[in-house]
Amino acid sequence: MATSGTYNFNPAFSDGVLYAFHLCGVRPPQITQEHMFTARMAANLMQLDWANEGVNLWEVKGPITIPFVQGTPTYAVQSNAAILLDVYRTQVGTTVNTDLILTPITRTEYASYPNKLLQAPPNVYWYDRLIAPTITFWPTPDAQSFTQANYYYVSVIQDAVLAGGTQLDVVNRFLPAYIDGLAAQLSRTWAPSRTQELMATAAGTLGRAKGQDVERGNLVVQPTLSGYYRN
């Protein structure tokens, strides 16, 4: 039996839009500029909603390095960051680097610290999810051996663009969920009678995709019997 020998199916976003409209019962000759405007808006809004769903493994970026500046607690974070994952400080040595994980705190916890400019090796951080997000370390970095922080983050999906045969910033195993989701969103405007059915289909394909979009590994839970942080 002959097979293609390839694994590269990744159509242009415009092709996906045509198929999503097809699922709505809108045939290509019926599609107007207004249809395409709706598709672009619906797709980009859906992508932002996916970022709110949780971790999309294909969008995990990093590690990003933040060089510590003595006495400076707050630093800029990548503007496309949806979620911060692992954050750790690094002791840069001549022969070996030592990493220690940092734990997150809330705004309220940070506000409760009486001396926010206390200088010592940081052991916690507050991620302030602003339009221009920041990360604040406590204690404030000092002049000692821990010279930088590193972090992984989940990026939002790059903008969906119709022109020029642009492809989606989505791993191909999520394409069925993407097209089903887009069809469901478009049906709200162009085929309301199909919305309930398409929404159910979209929920099923997205659920299956996210169920497989996980890292496999052992979960180990054990008590802390000694201090973790050290200067």
Residues 67 and 148 in one domain: yes
pLDDT at 91: 83
Co-location of 141 and 65 in the same domain? yes
| Residue 231 in this model has a pLDDT that exceeds 60 | no
Flag whether 231 is in a domain: no
Residue 7 counted as domain residue: no
What are 110-116's contacts with CB under 8 Å, separation 24+?
110/136, 110/138, 113/138, 116/73, 116/140
Counting residues of the chain whose pLDDT is more than 70, the rounded percentage is 92
Query: Which of 128, 155, 182 marks a domain boundary?
Result: 155
Q: Is the pLDDT score of 149 beyond 80?
A: yes
Residues 148 and 88 in one domain: yes
- Check whether residue 23 and residue 75 sit in a common domain: no
- The whole-number average pLDDT for the span 129-144 is 92
Distance CA 1, CA 19 (A): 29
Q: Are residues 43 and 89 in the same domain?
A: no
Residue 2: pLDDT band with limits 50, 70, 90: confident
Copy the structure tokens of residue 178.
């993407």
Residue-wise pLDDT tens digits, 167-185: 999 999 999 999 999 999 9
Which residue segment(s) compose the domain that 109 sits in? 60-155
pLDDT value at residue 229: 55
C-alpha span between 108 and 104 (Å, rounded): 12
- 78 and 119 inside one domain: yes
Domain count, the chain: 2
Q: Which of 90, 124, 155 is the last residue of a domain?
A: 155
Burial 193-223, CB ≥16 within 10 A → b, else e: ebbeebbebbeebbeebbeebeeeeeeeeee
Q: Check whether 225 has a pLDDT greater than 80.
A: no
> Residues 38-57: what's their mean pLDDT?
93
pLDDT higher than threshold 70 for residue 140: yes
Q: Is residue 22 in a domain? A: yes
* pLDDT of 93 higher than 80: no
Q: Is there a domain that residue 199 lies in?
A: yes
Confidence tier at 60 by pLDDT (50, 70, 90): very high
223 in a domain, yes or no? no
Cis-peptide into 139, omega within 30 deg: yes
Same domain? 151 vs 94? yes
Residues 65 and 87 in one domain: yes
What is the pLDDT averaged over residues 13-40? 95
Average pLDDT over the chain, rounded to an integer: 91
